[in-house]
Amino acid sequence: MSQITIKDISLQDYNLTERVKNLKKAYFRAMPEICVERPHWITEFHLKNNLFKKDKITILDKARAYRFALEKRTPVIWHTRSYEKGMKPFDIKDTSLFAGSTTSKFKGVPLYPEFIALALWPELWTISKRKSNPFFLSEEDAKKLNYDIFPHWMENTIQELARKKYHPPEMKVFERLVFFLASKPNCISHTLPDFSKAINKGLRAIIDEAEERKSKTPDQSKIEFYTAISEALEGIIAYSKNLSKKARELADKENDPALKKELLDIAEINSHAPEFPARTFREGLTTVWLCWTAIHLENPNVGLSLGRLDQILYNLYRKDIDNKVITINDAIELISCLWLKIGDHVPAMPDAGEQLFGGTGSNQAITIGGVDKDGRDAVNDLTYVMLRATELMKLRDPNLNARYYSGINSKEYLKRLCEANVNTGATPALHNDKAVIKALTSKGDSLEHARDYGVIGCVEPGSNGRSYGATGAILFNLTSVLELTLFNGRHRHTGMDALISKETGDHNAFKIFDEFKNAFAEQTRWLVEKAANLNNIFGRIHQDFYPTPILSVLFEGPMEKGKDVIQGGALINSSGATIIGLADVADSLSAIQKLVFEEKTVSFRELLDALNKNFEGCEVLQKRLMNPDKTPKYGNEDPAADTNVRWIVELMDRAFGEKENYRGGRYRVGYWTMTNHAGFGRLMKATPNGRKAHENFTSGITPVSAVTPHLTKALNSVAKQPVECLSSGVALNLKYTPEKDNGKMLDNFAASVEGYFDDMDGKRDGGMEIQFNITTHDKFVEAVKNPDAEEYRELLVRVSGYTAYFKDLNPQMQKEIIDRTEYLLSTGKMIPFEPFPLHER
């Protein structure tokens, strides 16, 4: 039965309230400020309790540390001041409906010295003024970090602890940065808790459950686990009570009766939630929000995601609407305030990180729509309320993802999702339920759990609050595998004298294409082994030094097993590897297959010479390599090219799938690249698909730009790839041109999505995910020229997974987005364009 009661699903008559408009304006005006509060309290606790000297930090140690920090942290009700570009302070009229914040700042940069905050050390005097995405840092706070905080962590960061304890040889490969990146030195990685229990039972009831379980077990490690749960939750409750107390203090001093009432409302709500079951929609949102701040106190702000909020909050929403406690307008205002709170922090990024991966937010995915655990239509009124809030706010964080099950969800819903993309230019990303559920069940998830998936970080699917997926654990540069194969175990970036992997034959050794493929497969297995080994080592360090009691509360499994998620407490314990460079490598294999082995028009030696010369003097060959009429290209329904893609994704799935992670789960593979395809592209030399040195690779699972003239063919090539090999998610990035006839455009838009998702009666799996930029080439070019112009300051783009503000991206990434294939939906054809020159910032 449909849960839709609103008449106009676009909710176009609803707009932002003055409160939200003011907050949004301040949000875009404010530059991020580094906050030293968390590292200060955590460091102090470690010093007082001698934790820096311990061989192992227990979950109870951690829980007590977080309780200490939660009790001590500043209870900010409304922010009053922030800084804008040029480090000028300005006043904020903050009247958010939610109290508290991720940091003590209006838009903060939380620091986690346990991970990579120390990489900012050399920049402490300059970070406020750096060219790329500066962070405000006061001199006083810089001194505090330099003298009082960072020195204590020099021997105690995750990376250093792993190096000291295991001396892993894989670390050298990792530190060259061109083979793979391991996320664990930076974060616990992308994952997806569930707030239902916290909302419906309240944290006090969870404490009671932990105490009861503790009283019934003789197992010391379980006793410690349950005690830790209680400690951590008492911390969250104390923080909420402090907010309540502060709000009441402010109310006492407030003369404006309207503001006084708002403060008293906050005081009342925070005295109840999250300790007790939420009674109203607003209390439910408050519980989510306060648990979320606690999760970010515990875990770095990298890809932690909120799950299916339209499902878990629907009953409270419905009740309040039916009882006339709130209106739809109130609900949109509440959601808008929450979205701003969720986006109130930015990950700490050193300058080189900005240059390689710049512009990323915290990638906090929220999922709406799709089907429920029983396979029924789950789209409800709140789905549309969240969609409308997202459309009006156009924020980078949270990253909205919409599920669609063809035949179960309505066509009107799909069309509305397309409309939101046109109106925002970039969001939400669309996920094909049928294909995703098949991918998850192929890896062993139950049908019920698979149907209840949420999106993690960028695009990765995981069962909501059951799958501790760590989906971004490994970022694997597939083009380095190609490099090692072409150059017999050596890599031009690290120097041709050094044998990096193993010798699998020089170019003379390959008589047929299959021999070359065998060598490629061997190099793949070598690099996968290194990446998985190192990830497992970092994982074991997390187990010894970074237990996660707060996250464990919000998963199914840890409470029953008496075991932290980091120890394998969750129901599903996979890890994720995402692959960068799929299309470029596949097209390179196709070029080698056709030109070198089949036609024999180019010798391997000639090809390698051309690559080494970066095609200087070999322009004819380069043109041929880039021409889809002469060389097979993925994205044109060319059987040879598409077969090579399939061969690679199956190879990657096998190579990673046979590896066990440190929690006893298996690795899953995805194809979403964030900005890594630009970052790795910058490091890599020319490739056999005609790409010149240092140019971008192609994002996600997307075919290479400008070689796929027909939209339908491009979509079909992707949709025929086997989803069981793509279980950690894909990002297909497309650019559609806005058209004058909006109605017709939306029809074509929805039809293109339906066609791409279609499984053709089981003849193929259908595409898993698709995301868009609906902005013209010219507008992007203008935005590069005038980044601070009002119309471009909020220009939202899809990168490869998450959303970002175009102005924040580094020049290489801006170029990549501008140069993406752009299709006119009314013709289904590519719009020709001149490649945009790489510019200086």
Residues in contact with another protein by the rule CB under 8 A:
118-126, 130-131, 146-147, 150-151, 153-155, 157, 159-160, 163, 175, 177-178, 350-353, 355-356, 493-495, 683
Q: What minimum distance in Å lies between the beta carbon of 439 and another protein?
A: 34
Q: What minimum distance in Å lies between the beta carbon of 125 and another protein?
A: 5
The smaller minimum CB distance to another protein, of residues 357 and 604, is found at 357
Q: SS3 for 770? A: strand
The smaller minimum CB distance to another protein, of residues 115 and 756, is found at 115
The smaller minimum CB distance to another protein, of residues 157 and 687, is found at 157
The smaller minimum CB distance to another protein, of residues 113 and 472, is found at 113
The C-alpha angle with vertex 82 and arms to 77 and 86, in degrees rounded to 5, equals: 175
Q: What does the DSSP 8-state code read for residue 596?
A: I
Name 429's bridge partners. Answer: 401
Tokens of 523: 């190099």
The smaller minimum CB distance to another protein, of residues 351 and 587, is found at 351
Q: φ, ψ for residue 373 (rounded to 5)?
A: -60, -25
* Contacts for 85-93: CB closer than 8 Å, 24+ residues apart: 85/31, 85/788, 87/31, 87/128, 87/129, 87/136, 90/26, 90/29, 90/30, 92/26, 92/30, 93/22, 93/26
The smaller minimum CB distance to another protein, of residues 122 and 639, is found at 122
Could you tell me if 734 and 823 are in contact, meaning their C-beta atoms sit under 8 angstroms apart?
A: yes
Sequential DSSP letters for 113-160: TTTTGGGGGGGTTTTTT-SSS--B--HHHHHIIIIIIHHHHTTTSHHH
Q: Please state, in angstroms and rounded to a whole number, the distance separating the CA atoms of residues 701 and 340.
A: 31
The smaller minimum CB distance to another protein, of residues 139 and 598, is found at 139
Which residues have CB under 8 Å from 150's CB, separation 6+?
113, 117, 118, 121
The smaller minimum CB distance to another protein, of residues 573 and 810, is found at 810
The smaller minimum CB distance to another protein, of residues 159 and 673, is found at 159
The number of angstroms, rounded, from the C-alpha of 507 to the middle of its chain's C-alpha atoms is 39
Q: Among 718, 711, 719, which Cα is nearest to 737's?
A: 711
Q: Please state, in angstroms and rounded to a whole number, the distance separating the CA atoms of residues 290 and 278.
A: 12
Name 576's bridge partners. Answer: 668
Cis peptide before 398 (omega within 30 of 0): yes
3-state secondary structure 274-338: CCCCCCCHHHHHHHHHHHHHHHHHHCCCCCECCECHHHHCHHHHHHHHHCCCCCHHHHHHHHHHH
The smaller minimum CB distance to another protein, of residues 112 and 404, is found at 112
Q: What minimum distance in Å lies between the beta carbon of 350 and another protein?
A: 6
Q: What minimum distance in Å lies between the beta carbon of 674 and another protein?
A: 17
H-helix or E-strand spanning residue 830: strand 829-830
CB half-sphere exposure, 60, CA atoms < 13 A: 10
Which residues have CB under 8 Å from 546's CB, separation 6+?
57, 62, 114, 158, 188, 566
Q: What minimum distance in Å lies between the beta carbon of 694 and another protein?
A: 12
Q: What does the DSSP 8-state code read for residue 816?
A: H
Q: What minimum distance in Å lies between the beta carbon of 177 and another protein?
A: 6
The smaller minimum CB distance to another protein, of residues 352 and 751, is found at 352
Tokens of 433: 């339920």
Q: What minimum distance in Å lies between the beta carbon of 118 and another protein?
A: 5
The smaller minimum CB distance to another protein, of residues 113 and 709, is found at 113
Cis peptide before 428 (omega within 30 of 0): yes
The smaller minimum CB distance to another protein, of residues 185 and 766, is found at 185
Q: What minimum distance in Å lies between the beta carbon of 169 and another protein?
A: 13
Q: What minimum distance in Å lies between the beta carbon of 696 and another protein?
A: 16
C-alpha to C-alpha distances, 222 to 55, 123, 561, 663, nearest whole angstrom: 20, 43, 8, 17
Could you tell me if 566 and 188 are in contact, meaning their C-beta atoms sit under 8 angstroms apart?
A: yes
Number of H helices, E strands in the chain: 34, 19
The smaller minimum CB distance to another protein, of residues 410 and 494, is found at 494
Instruction: Tell me the residue ranges of DSSP E strands in 748-826.
Output: 769-773, 796-798, 803-805, 822-824
Q: What minimum distance in Å lies between the beta carbon of 581 and another protein?
A: 17
Q: What minimum distance in Å lies between the beta carbon of 630 and another protein?
A: 35
The smaller minimum CB distance to another protein, of residues 434 and 493, is found at 493
Q: What minimum distance in Å lies between the beta carbon of 162 and another protein?
A: 11
Q: Please state, in angstroms and rounded to a whole number, the distance separating the CA atoms of residues 46 and 68.
A: 11
Q: Among 220, 290, 318, which Cα is nearest to 4's?
A: 318
Q: SS3 for 469? A: coil
Q: Please state, in angstroms and rounded to a whole number, the distance separating the CA atoms of residues 392 and 388.
A: 6
Sequential DSSP letters for 215-246: HH---HHHHHHHHHHHHHHHHHHHHHHHHHHH
The smaller minimum CB distance to another protein, of residues 119 and 228, is found at 119
Q: What minimum distance in Å lies between the beta carbon of 52 and another protein?
A: 13
Q: φ, ψ for residue 392 (rounded to 5)?
A: -75, -35
Q: What minimum distance in Å lies between the beta carbon of 353 and another protein?
A: 7
Tokens of 812: 């290489």
Parallel, antiparallel or unpaired: strands 474-477 and 180-182? antiparallel
Cis peptide before 274 (omega within 30 of 0): yes
Q: What minimum distance in Å lies between the beta carbon of 119 and another protein?
A: 6
The smaller minimum CB distance to another protein, of residues 139 and 616, is found at 139
The smaller minimum CB distance to another protein, of residues 131 and 829, is found at 131
Q: What minimum distance in Å lies between the beta carbon of 416 and another protein?
A: 43
Q: What minimum distance in Å lies between the beta carbon of 456 and another protein?
A: 26
Q: φ, ψ for residue 85 (rounded to 5)?
A: -50, 140
Q: Among 177, 174, 148, which Cα is nearest to 163's?
A: 174
Q: What minimum distance in Å lies between the beta carbon of 115 and another protein?
A: 12
- The residue type found at 420 is A
